[in-house]
Structure 1
């Protein structure tokens, strides 16, 4: 599939209880999001989900929004559905830049994580679950034994928890370390994670051992953004799920008819996030 022939996004309203996270939610983001949603009238960006099993879905992006909908008692939620085998979804990982902390304090706390084995960068580490690049040039490989998904996710949750609460966490997709340090002058370490597979994401949603927040990165061709769907249509307790999806379809047809939908094929950087 080329960028020129991406189909319209598959937008549906589904039971909120059917949407399962594969990563831990970030309470630092969820708490203010919940408060903001109390006064909002539109859903701007629907969470992205993929079919999981039966009538359930796994959240690929938007775990904090799903958590907030549950916390506010919404029975139904608007989502965009894109399966891994659709050709529309690419799975990658974010890198974490640890900022505004002390490198020695970071490494000291890292050594306290019980599941981890930490090796120097020149050691023979076959396939670490993550690699830490310190700003002064040193490298550390992080491993777990046995190397299985549940223990890997548990260890990484502990690692990310360290700097989530003691430092400033910045995500980046930049590959060149020199560029990373240039754009993050207060950065003390870069954490790169071993890639995940789609099967591992699905298993993390089903098995009860989620990834830490902000590690998986799903790139979706044809992502629906700035949808601005009325929240009162989602929260209406007197309308069935089937009727709500019929309302959604009519709303989408009207949007297209009035030329309110535009497709951008190019990759972009947004400067007013």
Structure 2
């Protein structure tokens, strides 16, 4: 697909050939499935590592389309080894947390070692602790040392379950805005170790998926707004005429980051396909 002077590789792939690396949330995939069914198309391609067939972004779209009986899925294929593709992380942000609720969560999860904010971030970044919990006052890390990424994310799952059980609101924020989130009264930020690209590939190929929103991939330019017909994705042999009209003759514009598109904020250039 070429829009202006920019060339990106967007094409169909058999839906069974691509591998997720993160778990999905049933409610989110169900709502997305309903939206795709109502729209009648897959709006944005999922991001896929061309060599290993690993889904870097779009786990819920993949699940939703599978549930809709799609045999193919629209993919933006990238070279994952390229330094242009950055692997970053989300932080979990809890709002309206009362002191007693925080104490209960920390006690149950054995996150009871009090440290400075600087030390907490250094420990989790250096994989000396499985998780760090940051507040406007104290910061905490697990009393146990880091053993494996799997163990770290299992602890994150327990924290997610505990916060949901308490009715706490959980958001996901970019690293760039952690410092602005922490000072707010009742705000708690949960920070996990950074994941490496090879670990993403290993998780996908081994079927040992990371929790939802464990990774954030930022690519050089991302194609959106393709609107590929759902009926075509459900075909065993999609029409080559439709493929040519949607992918080879695309026109559109490029938006510079940061940009918000359909309620989601992006940190890379967006190649927005214009529908004729």
- TM bucket, shorter chain: 0.7 to 0.9
2:91, 2:178 within 8 Å by CA — same for their partners in 1? Answer: no
- Is 1:226 the counterpart of 2:225 in the alignment? yes
**Aligned equivalent of 1:142:** 142
Q: 1:79 to 1:99 in 2, by over 3 A?
A: same
SS in 2 for 1:195: coil
Runs of 4+ displaced beyond 4 Å: 122-126, 143-146
Displacement after TM superposition at 1:52 (Å): 5.7
The structure whose RCO (Cα within 8 Å, separation 6+) is larger is 1
1:98-137 matches, within 5 Å, as: 98-113=94-109, 118-122=112-116, 125=123, 127-135=128-136, 137=137
Q: 1:98 to 1:105 in 2, by over 3 A?
A: same
- Is 1:152 the counterpart of 2:152 in the alignment? yes
**Aligned equivalent of 2:190:** 191
Q: 1:43 to 1:69 in 2, by over 3 A?
A: same
SS in 2 for 1:140: strand
Aligned residues: 252
Please list the CA deviations of residues 45-87 of structure 1 after superposition, one character each: whole Å capped at 9, or x if unmatched: 111111464xxx2111111110111112211111111122134
Please list the CA deviations of residues 7-33 of structure 1 after superposition, one character each: whole Å capped at 9, or x if unmatched: 522112111111211111022311211
Alpha-carbon distance between aligned partners in 2 of 1:51 and 1:186, rounded to the nearest angstrom: 44
2:70, 2:230 within 8 Å by CA — same for their partners in 1? Answer: no
Alpha-carbon distance between aligned partners in 2 of 1:272 and 1:14, rounded to the nearest angstrom: 25
Please list the CA deviations of residues 158-186 of structure 1 after superposition, one character each: whole Å capped at 9, or x if unmatched: 2233334532111212545552257xx57
The normalised TM-score by structure 2 is 0.79
The normalised TM-score by structure 1 is 0.80
- Is 1:96 the counterpart of 2:102 in the alignment? no
SS in 1 for 2:252: coil
- Is 1:59 the counterpart of 2:55 in the alignment? yes
Alpha-carbon distance between aligned partners in 1 of 2:182 and 2:149, rounded to the nearest angstrom: 31
SS in 2 for 1:23: coil
- Is 1:267 the counterpart of 2:257 in the alignment? yes
**Aligned equivalent of 1:26:** 25
Alpha-carbon distance between aligned partners in 2 of 1:10 and 1:176, rounded to the nearest angstrom: 32
Q: 1:51 to 1:142 in 2, by over 3 A?
A: farther
SS in 2 for 1:262: strand
Alpha-carbon distance between aligned partners in 1 of 2:6 and 2:83, rounded to the nearest angstrom: 11
1:100, 1:188 within 8 Å by CA — same for their partners in 2? Answer: yes
**Aligned equivalent of 2:272:** none
Displacement after TM superposition at 1:191 (Å): 1.2
Displacement after TM superposition at 1:117 (Å): 5.5
- Is 1:46 the counterpart of 2:45 in the alignment? yes
Q: 1:205 to 1:103 in 2, by over 3 A?
A: farther
